[in-house]
Structure 1
């Protein structure tokens, strides 16, 4: 309750946004498959990813050129527009899957545009003393939103999509009003840049990439994302092929259900123990906390790849979840500390690029797994984990003058 008012409001909008997006977003793939087929679904998902990628890049530049609050308002406005189109396209008066996709494309671009400004504002109004706690708190709230949102979507998506979309539109309007009425501008750096062209944005990002410390850290972040993304990419394939069916309370647990149980276990542990564990881990030196967390997470995920029985996989889940709880706030705090305070938006935009790059690499490794089997995948994950830790340590220890 002692946090800056912007952070309190940000916590509320994060929960609302994640709750609504988690109830619909993950299920839209099934929607596209039903109405467009597998070929077009793949193409449409790539288009959405590219829109998010470009939106993040340009949004990071605008966060420094316009300021945090104006950029967030533009992004929130685009989200409202997109959700209104998607709602109308699935209403009792109109049904148009093509318009639904167009609406979600606009909403994705708006959300991605606003995200670097959101991140920059959090860094602006937090302090080195409370920053790790702030990131841990936001991550905890995100997991609560995901848990409830996934439950709502699983229960209502098929039969009540129109009402879910209405709720998402209403939530986007509330988000806009909270930013407009409640949040203040936090950009206090040098004079805002006047040029807002794509050329100027690219020039801004090239300048960020000349910061050797931050570039090394970003490379380590790509490897961290590759490691964690295997939970969504290779782990389902491994469980489908190698999990030994288990009966729990008269219910058959097969590969797909085991993955769901592992994710439920992960989310529940984060919600219950995030505060307790971070109460102690935040007292550690940042780089030590990052190394311990990243090491546990990578080891637990690699262990999941070579196990095929129920309880050993639950144990592996406990290990990588403990690592996740420790590494996320530590890593985000290190990222904030390495940024130029006058250009946080551009730095946030550059960091946004690491996620699509990491997920592309992670996806390609699923094809590679057919050649190197589960043991090879486990070894590669461990090597990437060690490399991610090494690059992050090198970034932190690189002198500031090497910018």
Structure 2
């Protein structure tokens, strides 16, 4: 599999997503600090919560309508809103104007735009990729996202505090370029004639439908998502995702706090604190992803999804479990390597599983619902910080084992069900 062999939409989206992630991550992580200084920590927390909830709601709305009117139109609308938001953010933080009210409102508008774009862009990738391409596509996407996050954080650290106007201006220019690319280069991936003439089949138990039977126009948004959340296989997958991703959210919460308060050691003759060790763990994760993600995803593609998921989740869980309680520097470093390898294995397979199990008629709706799993995982990450204040580190490690093994069991249940359905379809075609 080569990059040039992919559908043009996928090639373009991977490039534009890289620059979008780069610019977004140069703003979002630092906006919380800025708002806390300007309006106080309490109001800043309320605003960030409102942004998150609003983004979730608009994402569900966008997923519903994308399956009915197509992908491109909504993506262009969302990107136009993003350009407006970033332009106003630049003006509101310019040498000629300094408005915290406009900044807050435009930050909300930017969050709404991102909420619309994400499930639709994910559905578009599924629209134009084959099953055998997806391991490579999601491995590549995983790599570009992590690299963009790293350089975005570096760019934000350099420019956000003292050169916000310049930063927002650069981000706005990138957003304008992305808008023109969407308008003139991205092609619609849904058959509009099928959208117009589609007839409904509201059977929530059906896991797949032919592409011609797209989303029924008359089924409202509540019925659509009721059908999604009645899909037992998807809900098992949803639960597995929450458990797996919540381990990742422990890293910058409970684990960071524990290392800061408990860890101190010498490494290469130098004293290192818990914060230094936390930074080293993050650097190991980032560098490994940047260097080996793409060749690694190609190499593991020769193995079965069940084997990759099993080994990956075991390594991932083992890494987080050790980091939850150990204060031995070399063991922590080894565990960081293990969890990164595990993440490189399980994360693309998870995306492939999702792409293969969702019905054609409700792709964007399922993608939007899947996005809720990350919000639930973030909530569990915060809960872990609270529990860590009362539980000893070895108890937290035991909890991580339960979460990781639980995620693996649920992922394997989904894989087994998918394999059984494929065998059933094969037998039916043969007969």
- Whether contact under 8 Å (2:68, 2:216) holds in the other structure is yes
* Aligned partner of 1:38 among 41, 57, 62: 41
Question: Is 1:55 aligned to 2:55, yes or no?
Answer: no
Gap change, CA 1:106 and 1:270, over 3 Å in 2: same
- Whether contact under 8 Å (1:11, 1:141) holds in the other structure is yes
The residue aligned with 2:390 is 371
- Whether contact under 8 Å (2:308, 2:346) holds in the other structure is yes
- Whether contact under 8 Å (1:15, 1:142) holds in the other structure is yes
Q: Distance in 2 between matches of 1:249 and 1:179?
A: 53
* Aligned partner of 1:351 among 363, 370, 384: 370
The residue aligned with 1:385 is 404
User: What is the deviation of 1:140?
Assistant: 0.7
Q: Distance in 2 between matches of 1:85 and 1:35?
A: 18
Q: Distance in 1 between matches of 2:399 and 2:267?
A: 32
* Aligned partner of 2:111 among 104, 108, 130: 108
Q: Distance in 1 between matches of 2:262 and 2:169?
A: 42
Structure 1 segments unaligned to the other structure (5+ residues): none
> What TM-score, normalized by structure 2, do the two folds share?
0.88
User: What is the deviation of 1:191?
Assistant: 4.8
Question: Is 1:217 aligned to 2:237, yes or no?
Answer: yes
Q: Distance in 1 between matches of 2:108 and 2:99?
A: 14
The residue aligned with 1:5 is 8
* Aligned partner of 1:280 among 289, 295, 299: 299
User: What is the deviation of 1:257?
Assistant: 2.9
Q: Distance in 2 between matches of 1:278 and 1:236?
A: 29
- Whether contact under 8 Å (2:267, 2:329) holds in the other structure is no
Q: Distance in 1 between matches of 2:276 and 2:103?
A: 30
Question: Is 1:228 aligned to 2:228, yes or no?
Answer: no
- Secondary structure at the aligned position of 1:130 is classed as helix
* Aligned partner of 1:22 among 19, 22, 25: 25
The residue aligned with 1:342 is 361
- Whether contact under 8 Å (1:213, 1:400) holds in the other structure is no
Q: Distance in 2 between matches of 1:191 and 1:385?
A: 36
- Whether contact under 8 Å (1:57, 1:353) holds in the other structure is no
Gap change, CA 1:98 and 1:255, over 3 Å in 2: farther
The residue aligned with 2:194 is none
User: What is the deviation of 1:247?
Assistant: 5.9
Give matches, 1:232-247, under 5 Å.
Answer: 232-246=252-266
Q: Distance in 2 between matches of 1:347 and 1:3?
A: 23
Structure 2 segments unaligned to the other structure (5+ residues): 192-210, 423-431
Q: Distance in 1 between matches of 2:276 and 2:168?
A: 28
1:181-214 deviations in Å (ceiling 9; x for gaps): 101011243355546xxx9222111111222111
User: What is the deviation of 1:248?
Assistant: 5.9
* Two-structure CA RMSD over aligned residues (Å): 1.9
> What TM-score, normalized by structure 1, do the two folds share?
0.94
